[in-house]
Structure 1
Amino acid sequence: MKNFSLAFCSLLVFSFTFNSCTKDEVVNFTDTNSIVASATIDGINELDFQTGTQVTFENALSKTTSATNVKSLLGACAVVTIDNVTPNSFPKIITIDFGTGCTTNGITRKGKLKITLSGLVSTPKSTMKIERENYYVNGMKVEGVILYTNETTTAAVPQWSRTITNGKLTSVDGSVYFNSGSHTIRQTEGASTPLILADNTYEMISGDHMVSKENGAKLTLSVAAPLVKKYDCNYVSKGKLNVKGPLLNGTLDYGNGDCDNKLTYTHENGIVFNLTM
């Protein structure tokens, strides 16, 4: 998400009417905007989750101790307030106010994130609810509620469910994308070093994400191979999603583990398109 912008404003527009068409011949009818919008939405959701995780960590709301040298996702300009500072007393509401613009790690955010904790986020069955209030990421307005529920059964492998409701992304050109979905997310690295966030790796191991452009067709993106997100990388760096829609049916590939913003979409007829978040 570094230098995060909706590159899909300039993506190729293409059609898959005939399997025998070449890449140059399949331009003009359908676009991949919703695919890139979905990847962008997932990226922002991960950013907000990491932000919530870091804030709770730094305020001793995820572990019994908060000691870390991880790079800040907030910077000096964001203001963090907690309504209930009594130790081990819940619920707690954390408000992160980015004001009229706060840039950190190449990402500019404004507005507020409201994070409600039912308990320590490391405790099974506890929840973290993330709400957006007039919230923007690099000029894109982001709406919706994300609910994380701790479903850990083995301490060495923390796991959460993530549900998105009333999701809405408004791009800088005014295009609107609605989204919702549920996923299971597992921490696969870093659980043995609870005082360090930077070595954490998370994988989205299952679930579906629905995205539809305003007055447009709906796409369903399902996990085909776990999406890998390292805490110290701004991007999902590995994994695949199956894409299903009226015209777009294929696979979205996040790559082989390199930390970059590159994606490839392969349609069912074998045509490959390179995309950028």
Structure 2
Amino acid sequence: MLSRVAPWLASHKEGAAPEGLVVRSLSGADTPALRRLAEQDPVANVFMLAHLKAVGSAAPTTGGATVFGVFDDGVLLGACWAGANLVPVELDPEFAGVVAEAASASGRRFASAFGPADAVLALHTELAALGHAAHEVRDEQPLMTICGPPEVTPNSHLELGRLADFERILPACAAMFEEEVGYSPFLGGKEFYSRRVEGLIRQGHSLAHVNDSGEVVFKAELGAVTAEVTQIQGVWMNPEYRGQGLSAGYMAAVVEKARALAPVTSLYVNGFNLRARSTYERVGFSQVGTFATVLF
């Protein structure tokens, strides 16, 4: 039987836990095992697979982010990214307690946890017991995909974001972030978020319609990209243009751009956002799972 007791806990030290179960930070040598684990669900785990594609290793990053792995007799059973956010990877809710202990002991502060709902909500329960209070729990976020061309005509005005438009795109990204999470991404300083937006533009993962007046009418990003899957994030329509029936055409254009990079386009949406869900379904997206997000 697999133990739920981490190696550093008192009960383990007293010999209560059976041999074999280990919870630890992954190293470069664990990269193949982590990749195999994540590939069990390329859509749900696109964040981790995109990270491995970008850096090529499961080892801790220079910024201090790490991946905790749960092993039994040397076999990686589940994992969890622990950086600015917590992102479970094929993590059975049974192991949420040991991962929460590891994350809490790391001393990092996490802005959120997101991913498959069962794992995220289990992590939330365990973290709450350790004193990590959440200010919002979004427990039903349909995970949706489209595997072919969009079912509506794409808006031809959507283009790849340009560095020349950075000073216009950045405020639009910040406005989207503040609408979504309730506070400014510049709260702790502007530099980190600005670098993130600039990086997406340089990678060709920023999509925007900047009109002749210099206004960003619509924007979105491909926040995670692998050879199999892209994940759309940061969808935002300028308030001046809302309610005009433009969203479906812009989303169809996002799908068209994303399909140039990978055959499957994915996103997740708040369950209460019925208008957005209806738009995505009209474009051709269908639900394949359920995510949850916990904001700390």
TM-score over 0.5 (shorter chain): no
Q: Give the number of the structure with larger relative contact order, counting CA–CA contacts within 8 Å between residues 6 or more apart.
A: 2
Identify, as 1 or 2, the structure richer in helix.
2
What is the TM-score with the length of structure 1 in the denominator?
A: 0.26
